Amino acid sequence: MDRVLVMGGHGKVARLLLPLLVASGREVTAVFRNPDHLGDVASTGAVPLVVDIERAGIDELAELLNGQDAVVWSAGAGGGDPSRTYAVDRDAAIRSMEAAAVVDARRYVMVSYFGARPDHGVPPDNPFFAYAEAKAAADQHLTSTSLDWTILGPSRLTDDPPTGRIETAGQGATAGSVSRADVAAVVLQVLDDPATIGHTIRFNAGATPIPEAVRP
């Protein structure tokens, strides 16, 4: 898997992931919206590409993904405006999946969150509701595709240093917290491990080495 495109390339998880991908010998493209972030992204070693994925259609996204071996979705609207949350976290994510299928960029890793599911339990009057709904819809759509997908559901994100160890829901983990650095390491690991295809991995900080923890 030599060519990887990361959506949301200026996000906090992505900026930790990009140098890991580059160090692994891959050709890495990072897509982000704000041209002011070109320098930040370029400094990771990835190829920076400014695209507003909120407005990009399937054809434009397919052009971006043509020739890529894998897609990592780490983009998000950042909360606040429900309409934009649906537009990015649900609609743009789903368009990227459709585009990946068109150009046969088969490997698709979705960075979601621990509680993402149709029965997420977030009440409609909660400010988090739109995000919970959007992520549940995007994840559900991904599982219905023929892509080689893996969904990652980290708990609350922190800026703590990496530990290289996590605990998954399959091991009994409940929602807690995990460092963004460890989330980046998990993304890298699942890209390298075809056994994770077709699995949703919910996790937080723990004691199990990442390669062992993510293996189904």
**C-beta separation of 42 from 59 below 8 A:** no
* Residue 94 parent element (H or E): helix 93-103
Which structural domain range is residue 141 located in? 3-214
Q: What is the CATH number of the domain that holds 73?
A: 3.40.50.720
The pLDDT assigned to 1 comes to 62
Entry pTM: 0.96
The pLDDT assigned to 78 comes to 76
Return the closest-CA partner of residue 201 out of 167, 168, 158: 168
Q: What is the number of other CB atoms lying within 10 angstroms of the CB of residue 19? A: 15
Structure token pair of residue 186: 């998990």
Q: What's the rounded Cα separation, in Å, for the pair 168 and 67? A: 33
Residue by residue, DSSP assigns 6-43 as: EESTTSHHHHHHHHHHHHTT-EEEEEES-GGGHHHHHT
Q: What is the number of other CB atoms lying within 10 angstroms of the CB of residue 132? A: 22
The tens place of each residue's pLDDT in the chain, 216 residues long, gives 699 999 999 999 999 999 999 999 999 999 999 999 999 999 999 999 999 999 999 999 999 999 999 999 999 987 778 999 999 999 999 999 999 999 999 999 999 999 888 899 899 998 889 999 999 999 999 999 999 999 999 999 999 999 999 999 999 998 899 999 999 999 999 999 999 999 999 999 999 999 999 998
Beta bridge partners of 108: 71, 149
Nearby residues of 111 by Cβ (< 8 Å), 6 or more positions away: 13, 72, 73, 74, 152, 154, 183, 187
Domain total of the chain: 1
CA distances from 4 to 48, 152, 214 (A): 12, 17, 20
